[in-house]
Structures are given as C-alpha cells and as structure tokens.
Amino acid sequence: MQGEFLVPVHSANEFPEKARQVLIRNVYLHDDSSVQSSPLYDVICTNGKVHDVRATSDPTNVENDDTYIRGSIDSEDVEILDAEGKGILVPALCHAHIHLDKCFLLGKSDELVSGDFAEALKVTAQAKGNFPSALEDLYNRGSRLIVESVECGVTAMRAHVEVDETVHMSCLDVGLRLKKDYETICDVQIAVFAQDPLFSAQNAELGDNLILLQNAAARDGVHAVGSAPYVEPSVAQAKRNIRFIFDIACTHGLHADFHLDYTLDRDAEPLIWYVLDELRTRMRTGRWPAGARVCVGHATRLTLFSAEEWAALAHAVHPDGEGLPLALVGLPPSDVYMMARGAQWELARPRGTLDVVRLARVHALPVAMAVNNVENAFTPQGVLDPLALCPLGVALFQSGTRADAARLVVRRSSLICFSRGSLALLDTLNVAGGRDGKCTDRGGHERSPRAASGARGPS
Ligand SMILES: [Zn+2]
C-alpha cells in the first residue's frame, strides 16, 4: 500500500537539510477496492513521499503520539494532521479546463435576458472591455478562484486566459502574476486562449488577434495555446484557425487546447477529424514538440457520432492504434446549460455533453470532465469544486453502479483529474462544498488556502 496514494515528484536530495515528516492520522483512504482491513488509517509522509501506511487500529500503534512518532519515523520535525475519523485522503484534484479571467462576472455586465450562447458572448465581451482598466478586479477574481479551488482540494489547473484586441495582454499579465503568487499551493498552467476570431469577418484577412496571440505564446510561463474555431465565420476559416494554433504550438513547444465542435447540429462538420489530420501531419514530419499534447474541450457535436465514428476516433488516439496525443474534456456545467438541440424541440429540448463514463468504459478513450466556467454568462450556475461534477455525472450518465461511480472519481484513470504529487484531505461531511479541505504541497507540507489568501494581494 505504500506510495499507493501519492505520486512523488521530488527526489530526496531536493530536501538536503533535514528529513521532514507529516503524519496524517485517523483518515479514510481513497481506494477502489471493496476490501480494506481497516476503515481508518495513519499515513506517514517523509520529504513529500508516502513513507508508511498503517491501520489506525494496528496494535503496534499507541495512543501516545510522541511514542508513536518516535517509533515510526525518524525526525523531531513532525507535522500532525488528525482527521479524527471524519476526513478522506485522496490524490489532490486538478482543474483540467478552467477560465481564470472570466470567473465571477455575474453582476459586472448587463442582466441576462435570453440566456443563450449569443448573449453570453455579447455580455462577456462587454465585461472584457473593462478588464484592462480593472486589473485589481481581474487579479482578485482570479485569486478567489485559485484559493477556493485549493479549499476544494485542487492543487493544479490548466487556466485559460484570453488574448485579443479587447483585453490585449491584461489577462495574461495577471494570470502570470497569479501563477507566481500562488505557486506554493497550486500549479497554475497558463493557456493563452483566443475566444475571438483570428480573422476579420469581412475579408478573411488575418486580424490583429493572431499577432497578439503569437506574441503571448512566446512569453515565459505559458504552457499551452488555444482557440475556439467555432467563432470563425466559415468552416474554411475555422480550419485556418486550427492550423495557426498548431503552428504556434510547434514554434514555441506548447500544448494545444481547442474549444471545438461546440454544437448539437448534426449538419455541422465535426472538426475533430481535421484536428487529428493536422496533428498527424506534424507528427509524421517531425514538427510536433516532444511531449506536447492536444486537448479538445466541449466537443458536444461528437455526442451524435455513430459507433463507427467513435471506433475511428478511438483507433486514432489509443496507444494500440495510432497513439495520437489527444484527449477529450467534457465540460458538463457549461455544456448542459448551453447546448440544446433545435427549435422544434422547444418544450423538451434534448441537451448534450460528452458521456465521459461510456467513452472511458466502452472505447477506453482518454477523457475527463472539468468545471470550465464559474458564475458567468456561459455557466451562471457554475461551482468550482471538481467533485461536485460527480453527482451531476451520476444523473447525466446514469452512472449509479458501483463500477461507474468508481470510474467517476476513485480509479487511477478517473474522470475527475488528479494532480500528481499532492494529497488532499477532504472533510467527508462536506465533500460537495469542500470548504474544509486541506492540501499538502509537493513537499508534503500542509497548506492553508485561507492563510495564502490573506498573505498575498494585488501587487
Ligand atoms: Zn472553456
């Protein structure tokens, strides 16, 4: 069982001065097996790695903490977290897809009237117009998102920040500051993102947005570049958008991350095939950066795929097939809010989001689900706790079986993304709210999000 629940990312010689221990007592463990020898465990971490795991009821343990610690680990510098039989220890969580700059925008733009996608784009663009002159607000909203995420057990996130003629580099500048200011409690991976078209609508000429995105992608601290090809005025320009994002990713050695095929229109061409073609071509010609991956978010159009189309996609990405480095991320809070099929269904419009449970179970596809937006026009009801997606997923995917529930959250190939190298201690009485969660950083130190919040402000 040792090391089962922590993927170490540090070697011992990164902590040369003195061994440092964290003892987590009386805790339930993340485990997908139905048989455990004890309901509660004590977990001993040394220098950021799980050193030992013992049943709390083990007769070799004693009630006296000092004796127990001296007999178990070799250090005077021991930090003790006592879960008191009310907490569960899990690998820390990861936001696979979240917007750092567009969170908590309700009330900062016009009231929603129709609640539809066009209105969301319009009122968000309106709010974005204020970003460059409201940097403190931009920082504070991003700070709140990071701190409240850490309180939910999140220690890593792919954070999209927009770059365009409206916001210029303001979202990126603030995102990079937040990344640095919170680096001890959360790994904020910055993805520069073009929500707006890269082409001017009338003449298909390249717009200034592309130049800005190219410059943004060259900045230190940026790990991914992405776009929303569906905002381009034609399929041809959407494909050019995709090619440009791939070119930027190749030039700067970045991951690519697309908001793609965000429709339930069966007549719309699924651009996932074009993305795969472009990726395939670059890999064959040696232009794709080593280790870089492609992420495709939303992809609701794929919910209309036939079994043959899913099999073809699975073959393209599965290690036993072509092994192309592409993964899908369903974003159910936004998808089910925005995606409804056709006016003819006015009184009972079917809604769509990727059925990540069946895609993992039937096609073994690399899939995840993530939060995307929190309290903005695209997802007014959004909450930022990744575990809150699980009860939603049980209903959406009819996943009430023990196996599906395990697939949603507790297996290593879980559909909720875990963060490598960190643990999260969650209060089992308040998992959905997650407000009493504690996290360890990659050195095994407990981190208090509240303390982090208070310690840093806009600078
Ligand atoms: Zn998004």
pLDDT in tens, 37-71: 567 888 888 877 788 888 886 555 545 455 555 55
Q: What is the CA(58)–ligand 1 centre distance, in A?
A: 47
Distance 227 CA to ligand 1 centre (A): 9
Distance from residue 455's CA to the centre of ligand 1 (Å):
29
Distance 456 CA to ligand 1 centre (A): 27
How many angstroms does the Cα of residue 199 sit away from the middle of ligand 1? 20
| Ligand 1 centroid distance, CA of 372 (Å) | 5
CA of 4 to the centre of ligand 1 (A): 32
Q: In angstroms, what is the span from residue 260 Cα to ligand 1's centroid?
A: 10
The domains located in the chain, with CATH, are: 92-421 (3.20.20.140)
Report the pLDDT value the prediction gives residue 330, as an integer from 0 to 100: 95
In sequence order, which residues have a C-beta less than 8 Å from that of residue 286 and are 6 or more positions away? none
**C-alpha 438 – ligand 1 centre gap (Å):** 27
Q: What spacing in Å lies between the alpha carbon of 297 and ligand 1's midpoint?
A: 7
Which among 384, 396, 373 has a CA at the least distance from the CA of 120? 373
The total number of residues shown for the chain amounts to: 459
- What's the pLDDT score for residue 10? 34
Distance 432 CA to ligand 1 centre (A): 22
- How much distance in Å is there from the Cα of 100 to the middle of ligand 1? 10
- How many angstroms is it from 338 CA to the middle of ligand 1? 12
pLDDT of residue 13: 40
Give the pLDDT score at 326: 97
Q: State the distance from the centre of ligand 1 to the C-alpha of 208, rounded, in angstroms.
A: 22
- Res 322: pLDDT: 96
pLDDT at residue 2, rounded to an integer: 26
Please report the pLDDT score of residue 39 as a whole number.
79
Expressed in angstroms and rounded, the spacing between residue 403 Cα and the centre of ligand 1 is 29
Taking the centre of ligand 1 as the mean of its atom positions, its distance from the CA of residue 259, in whole angstroms, is: 6
Residue 103 CA, ligand 1 centroid: distance in Å: 11
6/35 Cα distance (integer angstroms): 20
DSSP 120-185: HHHHHHHHHTTGGG-HHHHHHHHHHHHHHHHHTTEEEEEEEEE-BTTTBTHHHHHHHHHHHHTTTT
C-alpha Rg value of the chain to the nearest Å:
23
Give me ligand 1 centre to Cα 98, in Å. Answer: 6
Q: Is 38 left (phi over 0), alpha (psi -120 to 50) or beta?
A: beta
Three-state DSSP at 291 gives: coil
Spacing, Cα 87 to ligand 1 middle (Å): 32
Q: Say how many Å lie between the CA of residue 309 and the centre of ligand 1.
A: 24
Residues 315-350 as b/e (b if ≥16 CB within 10 A, e otherwise) read: ebbbeeeeebbbbbbbbbbbbbbbbbbeeeeeeeee
Q: How far, in Å, from the CA of 234 to the mean position of ligand 1?
A: 21
Asked if residue 261 lies in contact with residue 271, where contact means CB atoms within 8 angstroms, the answer is yes
CA 73 / ligand 1 centre spacing (Å): 45
Intervals of the chain under pLDDT 50: 1-16, 62, 64, 411-413, 429-459
Please tell me the distance between residue 370's alpha carbon and the centre of ligand 1 in angstroms: 9
Q: What spacing in Å lies between the alpha carbon of 99 and ligand 1's midpoint?
A: 6
If you measure from the C-alpha of residue 271 to the centroid of ligand 1, how many angstroms do you get, rounded to a whole number?
17
Please tell me the distance between residue 336's alpha carbon and the centre of ligand 1 in angstroms: 14
